[in-house]
Structure 1
Amino acid sequence: MTSLSLQFLTMGMMLLSGIGMGVIFDGYRVVSNELRFPRWTLPVLDMVYWLAASLLVFRVLYASNYGEVRAYVFLGLLIGVLCYYWLLSKPVIRTVKWLIDAVRALIRFTLRTFDLLIVKPVVLLYRFIRVLIGFGTALTIFLLKIVLQLVRPFWLLLRFLLGPLTRPLWRWLGPKLSSLQLKERWDKILSGVIKLWKRLFK
């Protein structure tokens, strides 16, 4: 390749590099404004941008003319940047904004679909189970009270008949059972169950 052809190739590559730098800079600027990055991150991001742009330009320059820096290299970059901001800057900014809006709309749609298909059915199922358990508990307590009322006369009669046998046995077992603290343990277990029930189904 002749020296003139190499110069034109290098200048063309620098022109494309300048356009690419403009595209990346506008895209970065729009994204940082739309997503409202913290102000303290902007200098860091600017530094990262210029470092990445310098490395990219040097890589392209090395591929085109083995890294020789000439006046036409800067001329190509300048023409590329000016052509970009003259012809392409506004369309690129509109495109980047449209892409950001499209991503936001897709995220909103995904979240609404997830809420509609998964979250709400789970919440409704949980509420239905709570109502069902509450109704079943109330019905069970009601039936248990009825059964106790029906059984109570037979229990009183049985206790009266077995009184002569159970009283001596109870006098013997009473101190032993008291030492085991069965009533206190049962009250503690019952209190824990009631607290758990209220926490789950309140």
Structure 2
Amino acid sequence: MTLDVQFITMISMTAGGFYLGMALDTFRRLSVYWKQRVLLVYVMEISFWLMQTLLLYFVLFQVNSGELRVYVFIAILLGFAMYQALAANSYKRLLEHLINVTVKVYRFLVNVVKMIIITPITFIIQLIVTVIVFMAKLLWNLIQYTLKIVVAPIVWISRIVFRMLPQTIQRKLHKIAGFYSTIKNTCKKWINNLMSKRR
């Protein structure tokens, strides 16, 4: 390995250590969002360090074909120490600012989506449901009114004809009507009991 390659390797790995400090602070700051889930914590930790290792080795491979030397690790530690000493506090403040801006933008977009899309769609659906229920009630009342108009003369004529019948036939019809009324009430009770059990 030539001196030029060694020098570029040192610079690259120092920059890699500096980047590693930034990435670690970013990861630690964002880890509060999943720290309550133990399994996810382990998965994220392993994924983070595996990704950083692969990324640094990829940079090393591009610089010196992936040759590992002691000074490579020293350069990474140097870059990490430089970050901690010179830029950690400033980067953390910048990171907090970026997170706050991102959260505000996200909330703004959510409110815009609710205002422009969700709220109008909800209003339209409620309006359609209200109109359908109103029309159904209106139609049902119309049907009931029509049935009353149609049935009223039939009931009136039936009562006149019933009064004209002999007493024996009237008593038989009363018995038949009572029998059907008993069956009707029994069916209603059975249906009500069945519905109450399902509830």
What's the TM-score once normalised by structure 2's chain length? 0.66
Q: Deviations over 1:19-40 (max 9, x none)?
A: 332333233222221x344241
Equivalence for 1:52: 51
Equivalent of 2:137 in 122, 134, 137 = 134
Matched letter for residue 27 of structure 1: T
Distance change in 2, residues 1:6/1:92 (3 Å): farther
- Describe the superposition over 1:73-97 as per-residue Cα deviations: whole angstroms up to 9, x where unpaired: 2233223323434325221343244
| CA shift for structure 1 position 46 | 1.5
Letter in 1 for 2:25: D
Structure 1 residue runs without a partner (length 5+): 168-182, 196-202
Equivalences for residues 183-194 of structure 1 within 5 A: none
CA 1:121/1:64 → structure 2, altered by over 3 Å: closer, same or farther? same
Range with bigger deviation, 92-101 or 38-47: 92-101
Distance 1:27 1:66, change over 3 A: same
Shift of residue 154 of structure 1?
4.8
Q: Is the 8 A contact 1:11 1:76 kept in 2?
A: yes
Structure-2 residue corresponding to 1:22? 21
1:89 to 75, 79, 91: 91
Please tell me whether the aligned partners of residues 26 and 93 of structure 1 are also in contact (alpha carbons under 8 angstroms): no
User: What are the superposed Cα offsets for residues 27-82 of structure 1, whole Å, 9 maximum, x if unpaired?
Assistant: 3222221x344241323322221121111111111111122223432233223323
Question: Aligned-residue CA RMSD in angstroms?
Answer: 3.6
| Letter of the 2:29 counterpart | V
**Contact 2:34 2:41 (8 Å CA) reproduced:** no
Alignment of 1:24-173 (within 5 A): 24-33=23-32, 35-40=33-38, 41-85=40-84, 86-87=86-87, 88-90=90-92, 91-154=94-157
Asked if the contact 1:10/1:61 (under 8 Å) is kept, the reply is yes
Whole-angstrom CA distance in 2 between matches of 1:4 and 1:145: 106
The one-letter code sitting in structure 1 at the alignment partner of 2:91 is S
CA distance in 2, matches of 1:71, 1:160: 118
Whether contact under 8 Å (1:18, 1:80) holds in the other structure is yes
